[in-house]
Structure 1
Amino acid sequence: MKGIYIFLFAAGLCAGGVAGYRMKQDAPPTQTRQILYYQDPMHPAYRSQKPGTAPDCGMDLVPVYADEAGAAARVDNAITISAARQRQFGIQTVPASVDAGTTSIRLFARVQADETRVFKLDFGTDGYVKETHDDAAGSRVTKNQRLATVYSPEILSVAGGYLSANERASGSSSMTKEAASSAAQGAATAGARADRLRNLGMSDAQIEEISQTRKLPEDAYVVSPVDGFILSRNVAPGMRFERHMELYRVADISRVWVEAEAFGQQAEAVQVGQKGRVLIPGSTHSMDGVVVGVLPEVDPNTRAVKIRLRVDNPGFKLRPGEFVTAELTTSVPRGVTVPVDAVIDSGSTQRVFVRADDSHFVPRVVRTGAQIGDRIQVVSGLEAGEAVVLSSTFLVDSEARLRSPESSR
């Protein structure tokens, strides 16, 4: 009987051993934690591919495991900054948000005379200049002010015909039928002669003077057609001139053009009809204007697009050729924005640092757009809600630059 119990006990041990062996064979193998690198606990920027001591403080390097580093450790160029180091740097992050608004852009600009208010003064016949009167370039002139006295036989001949036609056109209401017909014919001839005088270069003021005085003038006068300024003068007393030779150029600058230079996205944001302001250097005055054109040409030297504003110029505060600043307010559509201080602009590229987890930051190249107050739009490279470094951005950038291939062994 005792032998039977011994046999059963031995059989149980055997069965248990076989089952234990099978369970061991079926159990998954123990997983070994993957070490990504070793780093200096005091200066996390220093990394090594094997254990050892830190060269600066002599402390043992600590391993960084893949499961601890998280997703940031598997991203190229991730920067590791411990919580203590972040507090020391004063690093703060803010989430990227979606915003819309308006922005003001200031453009370098120059005052130009409105070409539709620039007048070229000439004669449709030959002649010579007898004298000139206060006609220096840059002088301010008034409408119908005499600038020069000229002699032209053709003008005087046509003026004589105009005077005779006016005499035939005048008469009383009791004139005969034949006289009335002659007067009507004279009036038509006088009108034609007046048009001929205008084409030759005589002013309406002098034509009216002939009608009033009924005297044939000895000379013709060059007069200013508007209140304005003389832009150019090409005459001198005693000088002969030919048909359609430009004698003067006079501009009415009570309204002027201000042509500003815009680049890239600035030019795309400007629209015809948009309101703007013109700021005069060295003055507290500003003048309202409106965009009347975005010129199609691009300056081959500066690659700038010309933006033309029309500005009323009471008191002639703006002078042609003067440099000013044009300020335009444009609407910015909704888009991802971050604080301006979060973006590091190297000129050729812009980048931000995105928080991957509590101790890892990833540099991200972005493309920026319009600025809205103290925020700037990010056109590409960043999603709304991602946290970016706001303060001590340049310290994080310096920490990133310290990491180089030579620091890994």
Structure 2
Amino acid sequence: MENKINSMKKYKNYIIGAGILIIGIILGNVFSGNDNTKTSHSEEEHNYVQDPVTKLWTCSMHPQIRMEKPGKCPICGMTLIPVDNSSSSEEKIGDNEIVLTAEAIELANIQTSIVERASATKEIRLLGRVKPDERRLFSQVSHIPGRIERLYVNFTGEKVYRGQKIVRIYSPDLISAQKELFEAIRSRDIYPQLYTAARNKLKLWKLSDSQIDAIEKSKKVQEQIDILSDYTGYVMKRNVELGDYITEGSSLFDIADLNSVWVMFEAYEADIPWIQVGNIVDFTINAIPGKNFKGKVTYIDPFVSSSTRVAKVRVELKNPGNKLLPEMYANGIIKAKLTNIKNAIIIPKSAVLWTGKRAVVYVKVPHEKTISFVYREIILGQDMGNFYIVAKGLKEGEVVATNGVFRIDASAQLIGQKSMMNPTGSKGNTGGMAGMDMGGDKKEKETKTEMNDAEMKKMVMIDKSKIDPKFKSQLGEVVDAYIHLKDLLFDGDFAEAKMQSKNVEKALNNVDMLVLLGDAHNEWMKDLKKMNLQVTSIMNAKDIKNQRISFAKLGPELGKSIEKFGFKNSNKPLYLEYCSMKDVYWLSYDKTIKNPFYGDEMPTCGEVTKEYKN
């Protein structure tokens, strides 16, 4: 009995000891893990904050971002890089300067050009047509009234020569004049003046001496007489028919002498100040390939056409062989020079941003190590083709950005500095740091934002055909991830929808915004921020109801992006669908309605409102 009691005490002690040991191990692991986590966290914070070399982190595309820890850019989602403070501490940066890192310069492909002085020359290209020389256009008329008995010239374009028979007419007046001549011939010895007067009467009717001599020799009255051409040239128009009665002065034919022609070029009103009488025009004729022509400007029309806004510029040209025919097309080039401007300040056209009212350039600030640009409005002079003359605003030797100018302007807009769309530099629409609300008068800020957005919407022009196919394919992947999320919400699968929202976020962040330029880049950044906000809300939602609320806002935003940029997938049709019961839109690959907001309750509630095409 005593042994049994001792054995029980021994087992009890073993059990207590084992329990104490297990509890000790558990507590040791807990406290040991916390210490490790704390130590690791402290070391991590120490490395980020106390590093004497790298204290701030920035974005290579948006250098206005300054963070105390590495991570992602809050604007574009790019990985932050360390800030090099070695130069900024030595150089003074102005308030209006847009500072760019070397990486941003390279990624944006920003190029610059030195402002220079040069002669104001321009190569002007002109279109024109060959025209008859108006000084060599003739109207062949009849000097004798009568009736057309015969046409020797029958069609337009026929060539006639001076003295050639063109028509034969019957004329009672001519018969009377011949009788008077014969009477004067019989009394010529007594009244020589009557003979001379009768002969001159026939000459005034443009009968030649040989014709009059033939009449005298025949001693017979000729009832019909041939009319001879007064000019050499081509018939442009025949004005009479056989049997027509004509009066003295009636036009028989219009004749053009094409031994010399005009080439009438059309100059736009902006080019007229460049063109001077005496300028050499090198031109070609489309109908005569391989041959170059050259002539001088002899006349500039003093009037501009109200309908075409062009003025005529005339070049006179000899036309041996009559190879240049009226209405042939000509292409000319004038290397013109403004005589009233010497040593003009010029800049490339690519350096200028137009707002409709203002011309804007970004001038590089002369720092030794820091790369920065400053906004400047200028007044432009004449257009020189690939260059502009600067009338006011720039000096010789200054450096302006000529490529990637839109990206510099986008950076200025993001930080609320002077920019193409914000010439006053007001920060009402950005609130200080881009993408962050820094407080202030909310009503005033909303008013300014609304005005700026309205102005921006008018100015933004995105050509979907010029969007990089790579970007469209990546946006198509976002659509694929979105459709999968839509199907999960239709099935009512809260957990899987939460997981799929992470895939949507990943697809959004994989879209390469660097392939977009100018307005397209800025618009995508706005859209991306809105979509990421809704995706985050879906990820953090506590139930499927809240997931669907955020999903209802995500669909229209994605649809707007597709409208702006287009998308590309495996040629699946994409539809925008609408439910009037909940007043919500969503995207789907299937025309058959599967409402993600009602699920099993009303799965077919909705209709297709639009189709997007690849």
Task: Assess same fold via TM > 0.5.
Answer: yes
Provide, for residues 265-322 of structure 1, a one-character-per-residue CA deviation record: whole Å limited to 9, x for no partner: 4212222333323420151223333323222222110121122222222222222222
Give the percent of matched residue pairs that are identical in Structure 1 and Structure 2: 22
CA distance in 2, matches of 1:299, 1:58: 59
Secondary structure, counterpart of 2:271 in structure 1: helix
Aligned AA for 1:126?
P
Structure 1 residue aligned with 2:61: 43
Structure 2 residue aligned with 1:356: 365
Secondary structure, counterpart of 1:298 in structure 2: coil
Asked if residue 385 in structure 1 is aligned to residue 391 in structure 2, the reply is no
Give the TM-score normalised by structure 1: 0.70
Shift of 1:249: 0.3
Secondary structure, counterpart of 1:137 in structure 2: coil
Shift of 1:67: 9.7
Asked if residue 119 in structure 1 is aligned to residue 138 in structure 2, the reply is yes
Structure 2 residue aligned with 1:250: 255
Is the Cα contact below 8 Å between 1:39 and 1:46 reproduced in 2? no
Structure 1 residue aligned with 2:239: 234
Name whichever structure is richer in strand by fraction.
1
* Counterpart among 375, 386, 409 of residue 400 in structure 1: 409
Is the Cα contact below 8 Å between 1:287 and 1:311 reproduced in 2? no
Asked if residue 302 in structure 1 is aligned to residue 320 in structure 2, the reply is no
CA distance in 1, matches of 2:177, 2:155: 30
Shift of 1:119: 0.8
CA distance in 2, matches of 1:147, 1:348: 65
Structure 2 residue aligned with 1:7: none
Secondary structure, counterpart of 2:119 in structure 1: strand
Asked if residue 315 in structure 1 is aligned to residue 324 in structure 2, the reply is no
Secondary structure, counterpart of 2:243 in structure 1: coil
- What does 1:160-239 correspond to in 2, within 5 Å? 161=180, 183=192, 185=193, 189=197, 192-198=200-206, 202=207, 206-211=208-213, 214=216, 215=218, 217-239=222-244
Asked if residue 81 in structure 1 is aligned to residue 97 in structure 2, the reply is no
* Counterpart among 118, 126, 136 of residue 155 in structure 2: 136
CA distance in 2, matches of 1:111, 1:257: 6
CA distance in 1, matches of 2:361, 2:181: 81
Provide, for residues 326-361 of structure 1, a one-character-per-residue CA deviation record: whole Å limited to 9, x for no partner: 333322342112345545679987654321343224
CA distance in 2, matches of 1:261, 1:344: 29
CA distance in 2, matches of 1:252, 1:81: 69
CA distance in 1, matches of 2:114, 2:186: 89
Query: Which runs of no fewer than 5 residues in structure 1 stay unpaired?
Result: 1-37, 170-178
* Counterpart among 289, 292, 296 of residue 298 in structure 2: 292
Q: Which deviates more, 99-108 or 48-57?
A: 48-57
Secondary structure, counterpart of 1:43 in structure 2: coil
Aligned AA for 1:133?
Y
**Number of residue equivalences:** 347
Is the Cα contact below 8 Å between 1:48 and 1:408 reproduced in 2? no
CA distance in 2, matches of 1:102, 1:240: 61
Shift of 1:135: 2.8
Q: Flag the 1:150–1:281 CA change in 2: closer, same or farther, 3 A.
A: same
Is the Cα contact below 8 Å between 2:264 and 2:312 reproduced in 1? yes
CA distance in 1, matches of 2:182, 2:329: 51
Is the Cα contact below 8 Å between 2:144 and 2:205 reproduced in 1? no
Q: Which deviates more, 208-217 or 55-64?
A: 55-64
Provide, for residues 21-54 of structure 1, a one-character-per-residue CA deviation record: whole Å limited to 9, x for no partner: xxxxxxxxxxxxxxxxx99432226658999973
CA distance in 2, matches of 1:397, 1:194: 83
Question: RMSD of aligned C-alpha atoms?
Answer: 3.9
Is the Cα contact below 8 Å between 1:352 and 1:366 reproduced in 2? no
CA distance in 1, matches of 2:392, 2:144: 66
Asked if residue 324 in structure 1 is aligned to residue 324 in structure 2, the reply is no
Q: Which deviates more, 281-290 or 154-163?
A: 154-163
Is the Cα contact below 8 Å between 1:231 and 1:251 reproduced in 2? yes
Q: Flag the 1:128–1:337 CA change in 2: closer, same or farther, 3 A.
A: same
- Structure possessing the higher relative contact order (Cα contacts under 8 Å, 6 or more residues apart): 1
